[in-house]
Amino acid sequence: MGTGNDMENDPKLSELLKEWRIPGAPPSLDTRVLGAPRKWWSFLLTGSIRLPVPVVVAIAAVLLVMAFALARQRTPPPPASSVNLADFQPVLDPNIHIIRGNHDAQ
């Protein structure tokens, strides 16, 4: 026979028997065992994927770091220590008195 037995030394016999050929399983069996093949869009609605735990942990860590960096960027800057001149009004009629010093009269 095919492997490791008393008929192994009879290739003519094997050759003769192999003339009885049978095809592989038909597609209808796939449908019966696995169900009808899913449409591509049905995967978007009901599909699922499996991920290894280390990959999930790595993705979570990256997302955490990105969220932290983004949060830091959006924090308002501390108030500046400068004077606000928005309400500053210039003096319209300045009355200037010149006071001369005593040493000018001399």
Partner 1 sequence: MTDPEFREAYGQHKDMLYRFAWRMTGSAATAEDLVQDCFVILLRNKAILNRDRGTLRSLLIGITRNVARKHLRSERSHDELDELNIASATSRPIDTDDRERSETIARVVAALPPLQREVLILAEYEELSLEEIARAVGAELAAVKSRARENLRRVLAPLLEMKGAAHGNRE
Measured from the CB atom, the residue of 26 and 79 that comes closer to partner 1 is 26
For residue 101, what is the DSSP state?
P
Which chain residues interact with partner 1 by CB under 8 A?
1-7, 10, 12-14, 16-22, 24-26, 28-30, 32-34, 50
Task: State the nearest-atom distance from the C-beta of 73 to partner 1, in Å.
Answer: 42
Q: How far from 66 is each of 44, 61, 62, 93, CA to CA, in Å?
A: 27, 9, 6, 59
Measured from the CB atom, the residue of 19 and 104 that comes closer to partner 1 is 19
Query: What is the CB-side half-sphere exposure of residue 99 using CA atoms within 13 A?
Result: 1
